[in-house]
Structure 1
């Protein structure tokens, strides 16, 4: 059973960005030099320099003004820049808005949320996580029931499908599934808080499709409980230590709702309508067992 998100995660951002990504950033920030290949080599070798460029207003403005930006840069770069902008806004704010069924409620935790994503590994993990939801998939596998094999469709946005998939794997193979269950929970609470809180105005058709794929309806609290539990389960797995993700998993498990705050801000203020076009639009992909 293999989805792209089951591959080992990389938290070194400079290794994840493509040459086209770096050229996009360089062209947005360099008005005089044209030796882009040379600058690209320098940027790859200097993470601190790359960080300065990703924080540059010109990069954000170029992305924000381009309706086709998703076709020009990788999702990894896109969300790395957007989350850094969300971090800046959190630093400037005194409170965040927490979605509730009756309406948004101010919570004075903006500084704590900013401190959480001040940790580069946490911020870059969240960017990778968001990138993994740009294209979601359903895959068909043969599952054995006694002497009979039956076809079973697993959707990688469906918590129930993922939990069922984990049961088919030996314990040493479950880490990516545990991580994905937690990631789906954080994604739903962070990017679509209006829907999991019970307020479903915009993007109704998108939400209806997702909701129909879930066997059990869940609200924000339920997703938070699942996300917290499965980030901790993932952190305890030996694969988390080997991949260098154990500390990130612990942090997200310990501060699940706080980790959702930069995603809430991104969804509400930076990509309120684009989120419906960017996430989950990929076609289902059948697979062999």
Structure 2
């Protein structure tokens, strides 16, 4: 029986569709680029994209408010802007984790997806405590999906929503602070990384990286979100 690929695990290749690749090469600062040939080579050799995603000219083009949401997918937008928000050099694991997070952020721009374990489900979850209860009651496959979503949702709240979390804790007398979300994220990414499905989907090194360096990626998401203001 073939396992269905969940949307949060769709990392490629190809990492981007033709529309995104055309955007990258249309803004290439060297004249005379054969657009069709460049797109073809990029699809055949995904590693050639990394230098483009890190480049100053793509970052400038993707931040042009007249272009960004009209010509690129959310996945490409987040892939470029998150890289700028993360300090330090990239290794293979970091690049794969960035691709994972860019895909995830592209999914979570739809509010209904943010609150659901999988796309298309009727049940929504707004609180981590409800997701933890769901994980405890779920079977092995469902359990992996819920564990992964707890990690993803905790990272979103701790990174993108940091000001909201702090405000609720300080002024609304909510019982949970940033440490709570960080501990939950680390713990459930670590748990999900040990599941057999993490290996089958190629997510084990990504989830291990997110568990071990949760604060690093959380800080990158916070920096990225601050740049939108």
TM range (shorter): 0.7 to 0.9
Gaps in structure 1 of 5+ consecutive residues: 92-113, 141-151, 201-207, 209-215, 273-289
C-alpha distance in 1 between matches for 2:92 and 2:189: 17
Q: Give the structure 2 partner of residue 7 of structure 1.
A: 7
Count of matched residue positions in the alignment of Structure 1 and Structure 2: 218
How many angstroms does 1:195 deviate by?
1.5
Asked if 1 retains the 8 angstrom alpha-carbon contact of 2:93 and 2:205, the reply is no
C-alpha distance in 2 between matches for 1:25 and 1:243: 28
Q: Give the structure 2 partner of residue 144 of structure 1.
A: none
For 1:51-200, list aligned pairs within 5 A. 51-67=50-66, 69-87=68-86, 90-91=87-88, 119-137=94-112, 154-155=123-124, 158-166=127-135, 169-198=138-167
For 1:206-245, list aligned pairs within 5 A. 218-245=176-203
**Secondary structure at 1:184's aligned position in 2?**
helix
How many angstroms does 1:222 deviate by?
1.0
**Secondary structure at 1:155's aligned position in 2?**
coil
- With over 3 angstroms needed to count, the CA separation of the structure-2 counterparts of 1:66 and 1:8, relative to structure 1, is closer
**Secondary structure at 2:123's aligned position in 1?**
strand
Q: Give the structure 1 partner of residue 228 of structure 2.
A: 271
Which protein shows a greater Rg? Answer: 1
How many angstroms does 1:227 deviate by?
0.8
TM-score, L = length of structure 1:
0.66
TM-score, L = length of structure 2:
0.81
- With over 3 angstroms needed to count, the CA separation of the structure-2 counterparts of 1:5 and 1:134, relative to structure 1, is farther
Which of structures 1 and 2 has the larger relative contact order (alpha carbons within 8 angstroms, sep 6+)? 1
Q: CA RMSD in A?
A: 3.1
Gaps in structure 2 of 5+ consecutive residues: none
C-alpha distance in 1 between matches for 2:78 and 2:160: 12
